Homo-oligomer: A and B are copies of this chain.
């Protein structure tokens, strides 16, 4: 939240559209065998041979999906890639390529875009995906980022949302609610900063949850882990809108019900303590807070021994017949119907 007033500002219009894309992507490497031709023609050319491919796309709009007053541009670039790769991994696929389109108002100098693309490049390298195309144009107001991610998968390995069966185990990776609570901390510090711009926030006690918000990691490792464990989930989805909403998606598309145990939901101690500080219920946050980018899956009970004790995977419930409905079973053993309260980007504008 500290601005360097002496930074260099190069106007993007000086470079023009082609010069700009070239400048921003010249260091980007092509590493995937399936990339035949990347940036530089009317379209990229790819070849996947016998594999199936998965395609997913996401649009992020300033003031709706991110706030540049506490989201550094490099982190934003990184996160924009993660949001899309997470959807690829949720298909049990290996992410291979992305296209990145941005629209920017001229309040952004070239140096700001370089930071954004540095984050994109870092993410692409870390997750071994090629940036194969994109479009750079202007916007009348804020920053808009549109990413399409492509992945490859063997035909028999694809996991849809629709394969869950009654008695399958409901399993989630990592822990939940961190990204949402990190956002609460950042929003609070922004208000403090508005009142006293010289105040230096101490974010150390919140380091984990702030990082969950600003620099989430997509669970590429889980796709590999499942392969190593020889477990093919019966259904899978990424947790972008909150656990409750994702469970409902799996149930509706698989035509089953679900029982979720409150006491099994994995929470980081920092989420619990921050929820206490804000006087909000941590289960509510895990159920409805978004942006954790963990994977939620169902697996056959036959596979239980393969995943038992794995620190990356937590069994949080099981699937039921559709007629049984979708419920949270509280610590007090009360049944509460699950409802989708996840973030609705169309609601608040």
Could you list which residues of chain A lie within 8 angstroms of chain B, going by C-beta atoms? 12-13, 15-17, 20, 36-37, 40-50, 52-59, 61-65, 87-88, 90-91, 93, 97, 99, 101-103, 105-106, 132-142, 144, 146, 148-151, 153, 155, 158, 160-162, 236-238, 253, 344-349
B161 touches A63 (CB 8 A): no
- Once A138-B346, A138-B349, A140-B142 are accepted as A-B contacts, the answer to whether A54 and B43 lie under 8 Å apart by CB is yes
B137 touches A140 (CB 8 A): no
B17 touches A346 (CB 8 A): yes
Query: Considering the chains assembled together, what is the distance between the CA atoms of A87 and B99 in angstroms?
Result: 14
Which B residue sits closest to A59, measured CB to CB? B101
Contact of A237 among B13, B42, B57, B97 (CB under 8 A): B42
Query: Considering the chains assembled together, what is the distance between the CA atoms of A45 and B90 in angstroms?
Result: 12
Which B residue sits closest to A153, measured CB to CB? B45
- Once A49-B50, A146-B146 are accepted as A-B contacts, the answer to whether A140 and B61 lie under 8 Å apart by CB is yes
Jot down 30 A-B pairs with beta carbons below 8 A, ordered by A: A13-B347, A15-B346, A16-B344, A16-B346, A16-B347, A40-B253, A42-B54, A42-B56, A42-B91, A42-B238, A43-B55, A43-B87, A43-B91, A43-B151, A45-B52, A46-B55, A47-B53, A49-B49, A55-B148, A56-B133, A57-B101, A57-B146, A57-B148, A64-B139, A64-B140, A65-B137, A137-B345, A138-B345, A138-B346, A139-B349
B42 touches A140 (CB 8 A): no
Residues of B within 8 A of A55 (CB): 43-44, 46, 97, 99, 132-133, 148, 150
Which B residue sits closest to A57, measured CB to CB? B99
B40 touches A56 (CB 8 A): no
Query: Considering the chains assembled together, what is the distance between the CA atoms of A42 and B63 in angstroms?
Result: 24
- Once A99-B57, A103-B64 are accepted as A-B contacts, the answer to whether A12 and B346 lie under 8 Å apart by CB is yes
Taking A43-B56, A64-B140 as given, write out 20 further A-B residue pairs in contact, using a Cβ cutoff of 8 Å, ordered by the A residue number. Answer: A16-B346, A17-B346, A20-B346, A37-B160, A41-B160, A41-B161, A42-B90, A42-B238, A43-B54, A43-B87, A43-B149, A45-B91, A48-B53, A56-B99, A57-B99, A59-B102, A61-B139, A103-B144, A106-B346, A137-B346
Say how far A17's CB is from chain B's closest CB, in angstroms: 6
Say how far A63's CB is from chain B's closest CB, in angstroms: 5
- Once A41-B161, A53-B47, A142-B140 are accepted as A-B contacts, the answer to whether A58 and B344 lie under 8 Å apart by CB is no
Residues of B within 8 A of A346 (CB): 12-13, 15-17, 20, 106, 136-138
A54 touches B44 (CB 8 A): yes
Contact of A91 among B41, B59, B99, B347 (CB under 8 A): B41
Residues of B within 8 A of A88 (CB): 42-43
Which B residue sits closest to A295, measured CB to CB? B42
